Structure 1
Amino acid sequence: MENQLDWALAACARILRPMVRLALAMGVKHPHLEVLLRDVLLEEAVRSWRRQGVAKPNISQLSVTTGLNRKAVTAKVRDTADALPHTELSAAAKTFTLWLQMVSENQAFQRLPITAEGEDAPSFETVARLGSRGNVHHRTILDELVRLNMVAEQDGCAELKVDGFVPADDLRSMLAFLGDNGRDHLLAAVSNTLGEQPRLLERAVYARGLSLEDCEKIHQLVRERWSTLHLELTGEMTRAVNRAPSGGKGRIRVGIYTYYEDESTPAVPTAAAAPRRKEGTR
């Protein structure tokens, strides 16, 4: 049991390190993180008891599970507030993705009139209506995409400027994607580690001892392959949503990542160098 705790803490440290780097860069201090960790511990403890059939765990059960004293447990009276939007609910993202699909089939759709005569005529209004299922006005969606610097508007037309929904000019949106993408990636890994079923796809290929130039070449290769897979997955997900019964409860997120760095100056000194491993897979 002692070894298991050490292993779990070591894994948590690796996961938390980039989050702590983000927190420090954004001005988050220890008291903020302490409150957040306490609240998340309690929320997850409640979920754990509910999975065991306990609809409403009592204070003692939550205290034993989390290691928090009864006063800390009772101090939490509401769920943690989430100040970020949920990325899968964005009408702008759905419209952008649908538009990108159209462009993959016909490059002429890169530039669309904002409105057009007839409901069947290709226009941004039509794409926005399909993407948002008519729930958000096309003008609102267009303004958001222009604000995010993903679409240009000129002479009554809208034109795609980028090939992926990455709102780099909007910090709140970028943090929302970081949170949602990172959460689901880790949920897949945690589910597999705990032996939950079904086993989820969660793999990586890694290497060290190569040049930064070769790292970037590999990075670009992954980007190219992802562009093709992205369009295929988007089409399949769109068809699945359209044929799903009303009120379908399933959700899915498929992601990919690449990270590389210069290890000549380690960010975190270690007492002893680990054996050098050239490459591998997970």
Structure 2
Amino acid sequence: MENQLAWVQAACSRILRPVVRLALAMGLKHPHLEELLRDLLLDEARRLWRAEGVKEPNISQLSVATGLNRKAVTAKVREPNDHLASTDVSAAAKTFTMWLQVVSDNPEDRRLPIVGDGDIQSFEKLARQGSRGNLHHRAILDELVRLNMVTEDDGYAELKAEGFVPSGDLQSMLAFLGDNSRDHLLAAVSNILGNRPPLLERAVYAGGVTMQDCEDIHEIVRERWSGLHHELTAQMTRAVESADPGASGRIRVGIYTYYEDAKGTPGATESKS
């Protein structure tokens, strides 16, 4: 048991290092992280107790599960605050993704009239599909222009980006970081806990290579992902359109590449000839 706790602690340390790096870079201090961790401990403890059939765990049960004293639990029994919008419901993201899919079939549709009649493809039609008619196309276009992903000129809209990565909006970037990283880790944690059939969660690694090799490999991954992205988008679009109104399943498929010059980084070994 002691070894298992040490293993889990070491794994959590590796997972949290990038989180701490982000926190310090953006100005979060120990009190902010301590409050965040307490809120998450209590929220997850409630989930565990409810999974055991307890409708609403009491203070003692939460204290035992988290290791927090009763006073701390009493002061923190509330839902954690989340100041980031969920990326799952972004009409702009859905419209943009649908547009990419259209362009994969017909590259000339990278530039579209904002409004169009009859069977003419237009941004208005894409936005109506992407928002299911809940938002005006003008609002979606303004958002994509603000994010520097689409340009507007003389009644036409044109794609500028190859993926929905809102680099001009810190709040949106942080929302995507949170959602994408959460689901990646949820897949890995689910596989460790073994409470369902294994989910796809794989990576390949190479060390002792040149930075140029790293960049070349990165480019290969980008190219392959582009094709898979379009295929997945088409399949997901069909699934959403054919699903029953009460369907509650969700799926996120992602890919990542990270590389760096590891010389001098914690845990790296220096190769000498």
Where do residues 194-273 of structure 1 align in structure 2 (5 Å cutoff)?
Answer: 194-266=193-265, 268=266
Task: Kindly provide the amino acid, as one letter, of the partner of residue 54 in structure 2.
Answer: V
CA shift, 1:117, in A, is 2.3
Summarize deviations over 1:106-138 as a string: whole Å, max 9, x none: 0111000011123x3211001100111001110
Cα deviation digits, residues 44-84 of structure 1 (max 9, x gap): 00001111111111111110110000011111242011100
Match of 1:176 in 2: 175
**CA apart distance, 1:269:** 5.6
Matched with 1:279 is none
Q: Measure the CA separation in 1 of the matches of 2:71 and 2:117.
A: 65
- Misfit runs of 4+, over 4 Å: none
Query: 2 CA distance for matches of 1:237 and 1:116?
Result: 26
5+ residue gaps, structure 2, are none
Q: Distance in 1 between matches of 2:98 and 2:267?
A: 46
2:39 is the counterpart of 1:39: yes
Secondary structure of the 1:40 match is helix
Which one-letter code corresponds to 1:47 in the other structure?
R
Query: Which runs of no fewer than 5 residues in structure 1 stay unpaired?
Result: 277-282
Counterpart for residue 157 of structure 2: 158
Farther-moved stretch of structure 1 (194-203 vs 176-185): 194-203
Alignment-mate amino acid for residue 96 of structure 1: F
How is 1:1-282 mapped onto 2 (pairs within 5 angstroms)? 1-118=1-118, 120-266=119-265, 268=266
Q: Contact (CA 8 Å) 2:42, 2:77: kept in 1 or not?
A: no
Deviations 1:167-224 (A, max 9, x none): 0111000000000000000000000001121210000000101000000000000000
Percent identity over paired residues = 70
Q: Distance in 2 between matches of 1:269 and 1:196?
A: 32
SS at match of 1:197: coil
* TM-score (normalizing by structure 1): 0.94
Which residue identity lines up with residue 9 of structure 1 in the other structure? Q
Alignment-mate amino acid for residue 114 of structure 1: I
Cα distance in structure 2, aligned partners of 1:39 and 1:90: 26
**Aligned counterparts of 2:145 and 2:263: Cα–Cα separation in 1:** 41
How many residue pairs end up in the alignment?
A: 271
Letter in 2 for 1:153: E
